Amino acid sequence: QVQLVESGGGLVQPGGSLRLSCVASGSIFSIYAMGWYRQAPGNQRELVAAITSGGTTNYADSVKGRFTISRDNAKNTVYLQMNSLKPEDTAVYYCNADGIRRAVGVTSIYEWDYWGQGTQVTVSS
């Protein structure tokens, strides 16, 4: 089984910064795409940013120029650097991994759409 564990959330004042991390574990050979989603109370979960193993990135318009996604393929880890945070960035942030190739006995399989447990980010004065 694959597990995703997020860290780095917390309370920050408007204009401040936070860095989220997500580590994937579980006999993993490779992961095609990793990303961050968020869900605020009463809202649907939305894409924040995503990155492929080749480094192609995609950002929500609301975070462009403020957030930066990066990954360390050797460590199966994805990061989200969040700068100039606004109160509207307050949400639970979830890590997602897609296209995971992992070992099963003497062979390997591909799995899709794994999620972390979420980490709370609160932007408030």
17 CB-near residues (< 8 Å, 6+ apart): 81, 82, 83, 84, 85
Tell me what pLDDT residue 1 has. Answer: 86
Name the nearest CA neighbour of 82 among 98, 97, 93. 93
Give the Cβ contact number of residue 22 at 10 Å: 25
Alpha-carbon distance of 64 to 105, in angstroms, equals 42
Could you give the CA distance from residue 112 to residue 119 in angstroms, rounded to a whole number? 21
Low-confidence residues of the chain, pLDDT below 70? Answer: none
